[in-house]
Amino acid sequence: MKKEIKTGKIPVMLWTTEVEPGAMDQIRNLSNFPFAFHHIAIMPDCHQGYGMPIGGVMATNGVIVPNAVGVDIGCGMSAAATSLTNIETPVLKEIMSAVRRHIPLGFKHHEKPRSKDLMPDPGGKGDWKKEMPVVAREYRNALYQLGTLGGGNHFIEFQKGTDGRIWIMVHSGSRNIGKQVADHYNRLAITLNEKWKSPVPRSWQLAYLPEDHKEGQKYIREMNYCIAFAFASRRLMVETILGIMKDLSGRDFSHNPLINIAHNFASKEEHFGERVWVHRKGATQARRGQTGIIPGSQGNVSYIVEGLGNSSSFESCSHGAGRVMGRKEAMRKLDLDTVKKEMDSRNIIHSIRSHRDLDEAPHAYKDIRQVMDEQADLVKIKTELQPLAVIKG
């Protein structure tokens, strides 16, 4: 931990010394949120979000806050190490072309729906469509989006690890089904909070649902379904990529079990002697011995890590490097030719082709090595992954 703030109702523990003003305003709101428990934890990749900063961890008593989970519910990372130790550049380019043909990127979807067998089981003893009305409404559309990457900072990356192996890494979320669930319950929470004359100012963007309220229960079920959908989607993409690699490399190879970790979710956990809802928005779980993934920005190293179970962070760590420039700011300030030359000099097959791609340039993000140094008490590095090629949404 780098700093502690004690000006709110509960303390704030920060694993960074640099916080932008907008994010600091949100941190102050969190520290005065009436249902927040024990303290607020801020990870080193912190930057401003909606209501709660990205890289924030908040535990609550009795309520759940949709904006403290975020609009891309279940967004996270999956990675697998293969037994390959090398891929020639021409073969890698051929693999990338095939990936782009088989995995829709950005706003694109599959032309035909995926099999329902690939979707998470809705479960439940009753009528799941009544228990999860938004999921039910979006279910058919989700069949077309399962196994698609999405846009923004989502990516597929081929990497070479310090273990000598070729790795596959995917960063993606729950697509439109997660956004629809998030938006629906945030709007509902705002309406109910106004009806209940909530003490939480609407300007804080921290509308909440009691966990024992019927709408709170519905949100929890739908949130968990979106988390499962996001994982199923990442798993399908990794399986597709591995199949393409086997076909085009002409080599039969094995791969380790898939590592999966979400970084936009809430879960019921025990901390400091109480069962609480831990909201991680752009933060990942880092229990003692737990394997995690912390990606760098495009063109920089990523890490496979092991959690140290630090109670002060609610057993959490960063979800990545964290932005230092907004998307429009990056496109306004960065020079395309300079960025491209720097990326080319690293011998990385990158995705910066035009001015609009500058929003995902490495320069728009914090230095991942500094981020890792700042959270050395939260995780230990197991494998460093050097990027070979990047596909962006």
- Give the catalytic positions in this structure: 319
User: Whole-angstrom Cα distance, residue 205 to residue 68?
Assistant: 9
Q: Tell me the CB-side half-sphere exposure of residue 6, using CA atoms within 13 A.
A: 1
Residue with structure tokens 């930057």?
A: 47
CA distance 261 to 291: 9
Burial of 288: CB neighbours in 10 Å, binned 0-12, 13-18, 19+: exposed
Distance CA 48, CA 278 (A): 19
DSSP secondary structure letters along 27-96: HHHHHT-TTEEEEEEEEEEEE--SSS-EEEEEEESSEE-GGGT-SSTT-EEEEEEBS-----HHHHHHHH
Neighbour-count burial for 317-342, b at 16+ CB within 10 Å, e otherwise: bbbbbbbbbeeeebbeebebeebbeb
How many of the other CB atoms lie within 10 Å of CB of 289? Answer: 9
Alpha-carbon gap, residue 105 to 327, rounded angstroms:
19
